[in-house]
């Protein structure tokens, strides 16, 4: 009984601490809620591009693909040797020091010819470890099937694998690795930012209110400029703001974006509750509101105790010693009363109301889900 009371007090203390923390965060929200446009939006044309290629990693210490089963590795190996003037088509190849890999990279915006990018290497055959391997020159193609970079270099692997006769251990991912600055850009993606007459701003979290605030901030920042006589930004939809490049910034679009991305606004946030059942995390947004509801939560505890008994015969009898099972089953039903959950105009009030019920985190998840199904919580609910 004493342990149960201490456990309940511990849970209540944790919930109260969470309540104080959440209240403190949202009390200071107004002071720290401003965000720069560059942190919440992207500009048209300023984007990454994905590159992918197929290559071979050589120099492995017997941990590569088995050429008899990995046909694609064998054929790629033979083709590479033929390009180098070596005829290995009719030979028996049993090397385990080579592995077929997929090579991926991200081409940053405005990457110029001759610059370098980091590549990721991952096995696609039955190779077990890429440590010590070197990627042979691999063309990296974009979505248009054009080669934009060529990767080559030693593979850095963070994981390892140790195998014995009776046991083995694997840490990390020895079948994947990185080559820092391992690809050289051979082709530039054509995009001239300074020749654009209009630029679109795309919000990462689409919202009409946030989009309108961005539009207003951009137009307000240029009111003092006598050469700009009309608003230069207009709202297209909840994710897009179109901005006209003023004549004053002709051929200087980069300078215009430098000024725009430093403007600060307060992004709006929809009322939402996120429940992660696997980790037990419950996150509630600032705008979550609740209507008055009454809650009755049952609590049934079933306890089964096994107490085996040893039965021995009398000293002069011919019986034998046996173990007789003894099972004691008790059912405890908590006396939970109907509780009124008051209206919560703020997130702090909502947390305090839930803390007053003295519930655990799993019970909190079930209560929030039930209240949402009733329609008493003015927020969207997402369970992952």
Residue ranges of E strands in 159-269: 160-163, 168-171, 176-185, 198-203, 233-235, 240-244, 264-265
The structure's pTM equals: 0.64
Q: Are residues 284 and 306 in the same domain?
A: yes
Task: Supply the pLDDT for residue 119.
Answer: 95
Tokens of residue 71, six digits: 């046909």
Residue from 216, 218, 200 nearest 208 by CA: 216
Mean pLDDT to the nearest integer, 62-70: 86
CA distances in angstroms from 276 to 19, 281, 296, 383, listed in the order given: 19, 5, 24, 6
Number of separate domains in the chain: 3
Residue with tokens 């990018």: 117
Same domain, 227 and 351: no
Q: Kindly report the average pLDDT of the chain as a whole number.
A: 78
**How many helical (H) and strand (E) elements, i.e. helices and strands, does the chain have?**
8, 25
**Domain final residue, candidates 239, 265, 291:** 265
Last residue of a domain, one of 214, 242, 265: 265
Domain co-membership, 317 together with 216: no
Q: Which two tokens stand for residue 301?
A: 């505890």
Instruction: List, in sequence order, every residue forming a beta bridge with 140; answer none if it has no partner.
Output: 149
Strand spans (E) along 288-378: 289-290, 293-295, 300-306, 309-311, 322-324, 327-333, 339-341, 377-378
Q: What percent of the chain has pLDDT over 90?
A: 28
The residue from 156, 185, 214 where one domain ends is 185
Candidate from 88-92, 169-173, 180-184, 374-378 with smallest mean pLDDT = 169-173
Q: How far apart are CA 123 and CA 75, in angstroms?
A: 16
Q: Are 345 and 277 within one domain?
A: yes
Are 171 and 226 found together in one domain?
no
CB 178 within 8 A of CB 120: yes
Size of the chain in residues? 384
Q: Which residue's structure tokens are 């105790």? A: 305
DSSP collapsed to 3 states, 180-191: EEEEEECCCCCC
**223 and 328 belong to one structural domain:** no
List, for residues 19-39, the tens digit of each pLDDT value: 444 444 444 444 446 889 989
3-state secondary structure of 236: coil
pLDDT at 372 over 90: no
Query: Cβ–Cβ contacts within 10 Å for residue 186, how many?
Result: 14
Instruction: Enter the tokens of residue 355.
Output: 């803390």
* Predicted pLDDT at 330: 60
pLDDT tens string 217-235: 999 888 777 777 788 899 9
CATH code at position 207: 3.30.1360
Asked whether the predicted pLDDT for residue 115 surpasses 90, the reply is yes
Same domain, 228 and 154: no
Distance in angstroms (rounded) separating the CA atoms of residues 210 and 36? 12
Domain that holds residue 110: 49-185
Q: For residue 149, is pLDDT > 90?
A: yes
Q: Check the CA dihedral 365-367-372-376 and report its sign.
A: negative
Tell me the mean pLDDT in the region 170-179.
82
53 plus 131 within the same structural domain:
yes
DSSP state of 325: P
Q: Is the per-residue pLDDT at 307 higher than 70?
A: no
**What is each CA distance from 376 to 93, 277, 354, in whole angstroms?**
70, 21, 14
Judgement on whether residues 176 and 303 belong to the same structural domain of the protein? no
If asked whether residues 226 and 306 sit together in one domain, one would say no
Same domain as 355, residue 375:
yes
* Alpha helices (runs of H) in 222-278, residue ranges in sequence order: 253-260
Q: What is d(CA 340, CA 350) in angstroms, rounded to the nearest whole number?
A: 12
Verify that 122 and 26 share a domain, yes or no. Answer: no
Q: Which residues are CB-neighbours of 195 under 8 A, at least 6 positions away? A: 251, 253
**Nearest alpha-carbon partner for 155 in 122, 126, 188:** 122
- Beta strands 98-107 and 49-58: pairing type? antiparallel
pLDDT for the residue 214:
94
């Amino acid at each position: 009984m004493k342990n149960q009371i201490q456990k309940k007090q511990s849970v209540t203390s944790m919930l109260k601490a969470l309540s104080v923390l959440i209240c403190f965060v949202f009390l200071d929200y107004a002071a720290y809620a401003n965000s720069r446009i560059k942190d919440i939006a992207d500009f048209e044309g300023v984007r990454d591009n994905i590159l992918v290629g197929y290559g071979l990693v050589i120099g492995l210490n017997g941990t590569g693909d088995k050429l008899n089963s990995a046909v694609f590795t064998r054929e790629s190996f033979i083709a590479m040797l033929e390009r180098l003037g070596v005829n290995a088509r009719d030979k028996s190849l049993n090397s385990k020091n080579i592995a077929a890999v997929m090579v991926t990279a991200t081409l940053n915006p405005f990457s110029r010819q001759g610059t370098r990018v980091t590549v990721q290497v991952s096995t696609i055959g039955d190779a077990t470890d890429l440590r010590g391997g070197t990627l042979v020159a691999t063309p990296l193609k974009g979505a248009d099937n054009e080669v934009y970079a060529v990767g080559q270099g030693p593979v850095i692997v963070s994981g390892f694998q140790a195998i014995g006769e009776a046991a083995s251990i694997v840490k990390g991912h020895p079948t994947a690795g990185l080559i820092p600055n391992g690809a050289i850009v051979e082709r530039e993606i054509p995009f001239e930012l300074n020749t654009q007459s209009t630029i679109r701003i795309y919000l990462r979290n689409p919202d009409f209110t946030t989009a309108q605030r961005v539009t207003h901030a951009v137009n307000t920042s240029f009111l003092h400029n006598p050469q700009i006589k009309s608003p230069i930004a207009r709202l297209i939809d909840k994710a897009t703001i179109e901005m006209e490049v003023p004549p004053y910034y002709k051929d200087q679009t980069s300078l215009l974006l430098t000024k725009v991305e430093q403007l600060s606004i307060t992004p709006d946030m929809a009322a939402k509750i996120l429940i992660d059942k696997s980790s037990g995390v419950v996150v509630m947004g600032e705008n979550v509101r609740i209507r008055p509801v009454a809650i009755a939560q049952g609590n049934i505890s079933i306890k089964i105790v096994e107490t085996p008994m040893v039965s021995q015969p009398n000293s002069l009898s011919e019986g034998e010693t046996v173990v007789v099972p003894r099972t004691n089953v008790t059912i405890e039903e908590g006396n939970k009363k109907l509780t009124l959950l008051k209206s919560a105009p703020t997130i702090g009030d909502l947390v305090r109301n839930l803390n007053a019920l003295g519930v655990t985190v799993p019970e909190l998840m079930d209560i929030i889900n039930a209240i949402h199904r009733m329609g008493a919580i003015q927020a969207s609910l997402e369970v992952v």
